[in-house]
Amino acid sequence: MAESDSVAKQVQADAEVCASYLKALGDANRLQIMRALRSSPLTVTDLSLLLESEMANVSHHLRVLFHAGLVTTQRDGKFIYYQIHRDIVRRKTVSSALDLGCCRIEMQA
């Protein structure tokens, strides 16, 4: 009985993590950011120019993605570069998929 309770708790925890990923990705701007980050790490300024969006908006969306564990940061001097978390992205020859553990999202070019 205790083993089934442990399995049930793990299934619930996995579902909650997956739901937080999907919630963070449930915005068109954040999906665009994830698509842009597939090629290389970028700064808020880079993403703002690329997406033609205000830096404050891009920064907000990056914060949501960061807190969900979808992106990581790396500081280089005064610049902070954002990149897709290495455990989530799986490189293929043509496309890149986000492997969330519970599901996989194919990102088209």
The whole-number pLDDT of residue 93 equals 36
**53-76 exposure pattern, b = at least 16 Cβ within 10 A, e = fewer:** beeeebeebbebbeebebbbeeee
Domain hosting residue 21, numbered range? 2-107
How many other C-beta atoms lie within 10 A of the C-beta of residue 105? 15
- Which CATH number characterizes residue 45's domain? 1.10.10.10
The whole-number pLDDT of residue 87 equals 82
In total, how many domains does the chain have?
1
The whole-number pLDDT of residue 95 equals 53
Per-residue DSSP letters for 5-34?
A: HHHHHHHHHHHHHHHHHHHHH-SHHHHHHH
- Cβ–Cβ < 8 Å for 65, 37: no
The whole-number pLDDT of residue 45 equals 97
The whole-number pLDDT of residue 96 equals 66
- Cβ–Cβ < 8 Å for 25, 34: yes
The whole-number pLDDT of residue 92 equals 44
- What are the 10-residue block averages of pLDDT along the chain, 109 residues in total? 76 85 94 92 97 97 96 96 85 61 78
